[in-house]
Amino acid sequence: MAPAFVLHHHRKPRPHFDLRLEERGVLRSWAVPRGLPDSPDDNRLAIAVPDHDLDHLTYEDADKSIADIGTWEEHDRTDRRMLFTLHGRTGRRRYALIRTGEGWLLHLTKEQSPDDRG
């Protein structure tokens, strides 16, 4: 079975999103203050945060809701970049997480599958 992902929308302390990818029994997590990019021209800051337990896949409370959930697949990985596709509720989107010194950028790739929806 494909590994899961969840995109949480946090409303406190400041509105932001958390991207969580299931890997090796945990959810690797990045805070994405402005949400996932919707254009290849719009990179987004992604801040690595501590791994979360798998029970966070479906966790919601008064300040945190699930913006998207589904599975993900990795296409390529180096020390500086991970290329992957999220298979969420609204379709598939291919992204790259790119290491920039001590931080990360989340990039929507120009190459998207023809049946991917925006």
Decide: 37 and 109 in contact? Cβ < 8 Å: no
What number of residues does the chain have?
Answer: 118
Beta bridge partners of 105: 45, 98
pLDDT tens per residue across span 72-89: 999 999 999 999 999 999
The Cα 28–Cα 54 span in angstroms is 10
pLDDT tens per residue across span 11-69: 988 999 999 999 999 999 999 999 999 999 999 999 999 999 999 999 999 999 999 99
